[in-house]
Structure 1
Amino acid sequence: MDALIYTAMSGAERALRGQQVHANNLANADTNGFRANMEQSAAQTVNGYGYADRHLAQLQANSVSTKPGVMKSTGRELDVAVAGAGFLTVQSAGGEAYTRAGGMALDENGTLRINGNVVLGEGGPISLPEYSRIDIGNDGTISIQAPGTTTMQTIDKLRLVKAEASELTKNEQGLLVARDGNPLATDPTVLVRPGHLEGSNVSAVEEMVAVMSLNRTFEIQMKLFSSSDSMVQAGNRLLGGS
């Protein structure tokens, strides 16, 4: 009987944790460049003698969806959106990371940052000298026009990379990183659209449907737990002769 209890309680816990994943996705439905977390589970055996018929549901929420979000025109010169597959590269606290959020800003030292993280170019962190005009090409090339000049000077090129969804996971900051811990190679086929930002790829309808489905799953697991408790009590009465 306790095998049924293991199954019911493990399934209920998985449903509750799955709701947290989808709630986080919904909370970031308006976050530019956000990639939805995917909620998956796998069976896990219980170690120890006599527990071979007991299994737990282990939640695996370290997968991400890489489907594109809606692209919006901003006209801002430091905004870029990745066109098609690919990612921008930033330097996070844990090392090199990747993002689709392209809202760049200059700090007091002229360093390009995205949400506080330094933007990386093919030559390293990108720092811009004083300029009167800036242009970002579709291939990620950053050019500026210095004050008092009439020509454009190339400063660096955004380090653009490409990877399959199975090769990526999220770090503690919510940025994408390679599962194997190695930096991704620069991919010259990745293009950007200057003056645009990509929205979140979260579908509010899909997330709400998933939450409702998990609610039903939780209710079923609770009914199984209640049934197992009733059967245990009935068995105890039979053994007690009452």
Structure 2
Amino acid sequence: MSPELLEPIADAAWPARDRERLGGWRLNAADGFSLRINACWPLGEPDRDPEAAIDAVEAFYAARGLLVRFKLTEGATAPADLAERLARRGYEPHGETLVVTGAVTGLADPDVTLSIAPDPAFQTVLVASAKGNLADARERLEGLARIPAPARFARLDVDGRPAALGACAVDGEAVGIFGMRTDPDFRRRGLARRLLDSLLVEAATLGARTAYLQVEAANAPAIALYAARGFSTAYRYRYWTRPAHD
């Protein structure tokens, strides 16, 4: 799928708590931890002069005490010279991320627990994967709970402990995979692969045919996992953030 088609689906699948529009620019905000739901997605032309639109975005995030952040996507950013405009204002690129897509196939795992809402055990894994940051874990748990139906949430326990989790959001024939996390005590055991397979099988029953997910370009183990499952890179995006000043 092209970024013009997939990015709006991805935005709707992982909705921010606060959302506004400036024409084709989508402003998302929460508590500042998850980059995707704390960034402006300029997916179309803004409803005003680009410089005035940037001013409005800066005011939006300043009012919430958040860093000003833009998510610039290859092939789907408007206007085309937005990166240059941001650079002149002191914004810097970071967080290169791949959007990978693949077929909805897999084998269900009987040990994976599926539900239509995240259960309380999710917080245990989120806190562990966030190195004890309760605020970060809370924001992500709230984000998972906002995924619109039909959604499925997967958990895998090991030795009676919640060890790994993930979620999917189905929109027509597209399914997004979100929130894939493994407790550091249980990594390198293939748990993510088992969760992914079970989510894809369930998504197929809901009508999905193409899966997509986001993975940081520097995360070689995750990229290898998804490549082994037949996923390939569709496009990339980078965040542009203005550093905080004292």
Same fold, judged at TM 0.5 (above) = no
Instruction: State the TM-score, normalizing by the size of structure 1.
Output: 0.24
Instruction: State the TM-score, normalizing by the size of structure 2.
Output: 0.24
Higher helix share: 2
Larger Rg: 1
